[in-house]
Amino acid sequence: MAQIRQRHMRLRIHKRAIMLVVLLIMLMSLLYLAISSNTNSVNIVGDDMLDPPGSSPQILPTPSPASQLKALNPHTSAQVSGYGFFTELEINYKAASSYLAAEKTDFERNKPYQTLSGVLSFRGNNLRTNAAYGAAEVSSKTLINIWRNDTGSLQKGEGGSPQYTGSWTGSGWTGQPLLIKWPEETKAIMNINDAAKAKKDLVEVIYATMDGHIYFFDLETGDPTRGELNIGIPFKGAGSLDPRGYPLLYIGSGDHYNEAGKESQAMIISLIDGKVLYTFGNKPDSFALRDWHAYDSAPLIDAETDTLIFPGENGILYSLCFCLFLLCGLFCKRFAIGYDQIKLQKINCQTTSSFLS
């Protein structure tokens, strides 16, 4: 009996040993295949990248980013025309099939948008990433009210429901003012008061509000730096200052009134004397896809090409390529503007016809 038990024990040991050997062989085989596969893939790529034997390594020139750009060719299923979208183009109020600017408008990512200190547009720049400017030492981590100025109200126009009922109040959708530190030579020719002109390192707060006024304050004290502009139409967006330092404000109305001078429109305002230099996108515009002509966005300006880009809520993207001359003598108070106005509209004609009127 003892011999039989010993044979059974040996048999069990032999079976376990065989199973362990088989598993070990399988693991080694898998490991070999994995290493072989990786080695082959490296060799294939490496052979293409290696220089011929005996040759000196070649240093390839850094490619120009522009030369690497390739035209996008979307799949036919992704073509917007297949979904009822279309585009139309108008140049200086005349229909056009295409437009090619003399210079390319390109907001380079690593290139500063502005030359002056401040917050000159909605969230500061073309990327909308800088809602503040400069740095601060924060210790108490609490907010306190430094100064306060009240604004008024303005009767609603076509934006009322029903029309011409209710009032506009407050500071619009963004609630954001513009901040700018003017150069001393620019301050000298503007209609700001003597105290503001005499203050070194003045930072001016420019606040376009829903009561139809544009206010100007000293950031440090809250004191007015000049008289407010009474435009008479509400402003819901922050607007934009010229990033090159020209004393110009680009802004648009947030409502429409059936009164001369109070139509919904986008405008360029001189901050030398507060005069409206130029308006565009005035309602009515036969090219517009929508009857609503508000301009709540903060436009962008490409300094190198003198191009203003201003989207409207009427379905039109306005691009003004203008040549701006600052006529500066001892008393600099005038601007001369020559321009090409390009309007582009894009809409889904199949699915949005219900709200186009």
Tens digits of residue pLDDT in 41-63: 333 233 333 334 444 444 444 44
Q: What is the pLDDT of residue 32?
A: 58
Q: What is the pLDDT of residue 22?
A: 62
Domain residue limits, the chain:
83-132+149-355
Q: What is the pLDDT of residue 36?
A: 47
- 3-26 pLDDT tens trace: 444 444 444 445 565 666 666 777
Q: What CATH number belongs to 83-132+149-355?
A: 2.40.128.630
The span from the CA of 357 to the CA of 350, in Å, is 14
Q: What is the pLDDT of residue 73?
A: 73
Q: What is the pLDDT of residue 18?
A: 63
- 238-288 pLDDT tens trace: 999 999 889 999 999 988 888 888 888 899 999 999 999 888 888 877 888
Question: What 3-state class would DSSP assign to 276?
Answer: strand
Look up the pTM and report it. 0.69
The span from the CA of 292 to the CA of 159, in Å, is 9
Question: What 3-state class would DSSP assign to 120?
Answer: coil
Q: Is the separation of the CB atoms in 321 and 342 below 8 Å?
A: yes
Q: What is the pLDDT of residue 17?
A: 58
Can you point out the beta strands (E) in 156-228? 167-169, 178-181, 203-208, 213-218
- List C-alpha distances in Å: 120 to 13, 101, 177, 298, 309: 84, 26, 9, 10, 15
**Partners of 288 in beta bridges:** none
Q: What is the pLDDT of residue 126?
A: 86
Apex 249 CA angle, 179 and 260, nearest 5: 135
**How many H helices and E strands in the chain?**
4, 17
Q: What is the pLDDT of residue 172?
A: 83
Question: Which regions in the chain score pLDDT beneath 70?
Answer: 1-23, 27, 29-72, 80, 322-357
